[in-house]
Amino acid sequence: MAATPAIAAMRIQPTGLPVNAVAKIPGSKSITNRALLIAALAAGESELLGALASEDTVYMAKALEALGLRVKHDIAGERFIVHGGDGTFPANEAELFVGNSGTSMRFLTAALPLGYGHYRIDGVPRMRQRPIAPLLDALRDLGADAVSEQGTGCPPVVVQASGLPGGNIRVPGDQSSQYFSALLMVAPYARETVEIGVIGDLVSKPYMQITADGMRAFGVEAELDEVDWSWFRVESGQRYQGRIYQIEPDASNASYFFAAAAVTGGRVRVDGLGRSSTQGDLNFVRALEAMGATVEIGDDFTEVTGREGGRLRGVDIDMNAISDTAQTLAAIAPFAEGPTTIRGIGHARLKETDRVEALATELRKMGQEVEERPDGLTITPRPVVAADIATYDDHRMAMSFAIAALRAPELRILDPGCTAKTFPDFFDRLGVVTGAAMTPEKGGF
């Protein structure tokens, strides 16, 4: 039987009308993968409701199954059922593969020392370029045996596990807050209290609150220095208990629909994301507000209304805390009046691709004037020209430039299937919300 041709590109033909819709956004990847790990460590059964079904969360779930835990994925019901291992793993040997899921790699690497046996975790070629040395150094300082197999400071990681002793450590904060989240989530099961000092400034600080809130929901308290984010502490002897846990919509993925409202002069409302959300990326709407949109955040919803004609103002903004939405902002910057400067995202060069360089490259293809700097870029609007947008196997490149295509009809998004990482039906939902025609173009086999 012949193979089905892959979708090589997505051509988006906008309607020319303002968006006016309520967008339904799948569950948060960040919260789902944290909840999967915490539920796996808990005593008893957990039911995770509103969970995201995507490559990243499936990789996490399958890795937990490979470690001997029972995980049921009800895709239609948007839920996972996890039977926890009460702080350890039944399997004493496992080969884990997590694709290009950074959360899965880092969270599992920190958790594996809680088991007893030999474990190896690997990913796609890009994952083998993504640094994990600060986390490995931290685990060794806590008494674990965890090493980079090839001595590169990157995966594959090999762990010879016999429980986690614990103690006091210091970890650089300039690469990823996921190192700290990973260590906090496994810390309750260390034999001694775990205290973590931050070296330098911590990037992506809001994600630490997501982690602490998830831990608290399952019965464990983490102490966070929320003044200058210089230390974290988890008292030993605490234990997670299985429970029913509701996951809220993904604020990072909601950013594309909010941006669609701003760039078309329309209105988009997302239910389930409101004042009580712990997701820092919801603050992306404040960037849109600075560009001229109107924002309303209620108890359980957020709504963005763009200015007539989709008129935007250029902004100068530090996006260190919400770097996953920097691509969304950059993709609509060509339609602003005046330059847009994005700062504080140097650590985004270590993500699925070098996101700063990728943005500069693709925006220049669109005819934009771009100044690239180590920690960000400045985009000076110029007339938009037709372009094929490369996505670098990065879901956020594809989704961000799809929003640009709502105003620039001659853009084609290459390799649109990379959105499966966190938002498998993104183009279908974007078509429904915006009324824009989504035309997939078949490629090779």
The pLDDT tens digits for 106-155 are: 999 999 999 999 999 999 999 999 999 999 999 999 999 999 999 999 99
Mean pLDDT of 427-435: 96
Per-residue pLDDT for 2 more than 70? no
Distance CA 62, CA 52 (A): 14
pLDDT, mean over the chain: 96
pLDDT reported for residue 410? 87
Cis peptide before 156 (omega within 30 of 0): yes
What would the pLDDT profile of 365-374 be if each residue is shown by its tens digit? 999 999 999 9
| Position 5 confidence tier, pLDDT thresholds 50, 70, 90 | low
| Position 402 confidence tier, pLDDT thresholds 50, 70, 90 | very high
pLDDT reported for residue 1? 32
pLDDT reported for residue 442? 86
Distance CA 130, CA 353 (A): 9
Cα four-point dihedral sign 285, 75, 112, 220:
positive
Per-residue pLDDT for 445 more than 50? no
What's CA 409's distance to the chain center, in Å?
A: 28
- Active site residues per annotation: 324
pLDDT reported for residue 58? 97
Name residue, tokens 């997939």.
440
Per-residue pLDDT for 347 more than 60? yes
Per-residue pLDDT for 332 more than 80? yes
Per-residue pLDDT for 25 more than 80? yes
pLDDT reported for residue 4? 43
SS3 content of the chain, % helix, strand, coil (to 5): 35, 25, 35
Per-residue pLDDT for 3 more than 50? no
The closest alpha carbon to 60, from 92, 103, 93, 17, belongs to 103
Mean pLDDT of 413-436: 96
Per-residue pLDDT for 269 more than 50? yes
Query: Which tokens sit at 164?
Result: 């986690």
Judge whether 407 and 335 are in contact, CB under 8 Å. Answer: yes
The closest alpha carbon to 202, from 230, 244, 222, 221, belongs to 230
H helix and E strand count, the chain: 12, 26
Mean pLDDT of 413-435: 96
Sheet architecture: strand order including 294-297: 20-22, 267-271, 301-305, 294-297
| Position 265 confidence tier, pLDDT thresholds 50, 70, 90 | very high
Per-residue pLDDT for 201 more than 80? yes
Per-residue pLDDT for 15 more than 90? no
Query: Which tokens sit at 42?
Result: 């808990």
Q: What pairs with residue 96 in β-bridges?
A: 121
* Cα–Cα separations (whole angstroms), residue 210 to 94, 202, 428, 433: 29, 15, 29, 28
Distance CA 219, CA 214 (A): 9
pLDDT reported for residue 409? 80
Per-residue pLDDT for 444 more than 70? no
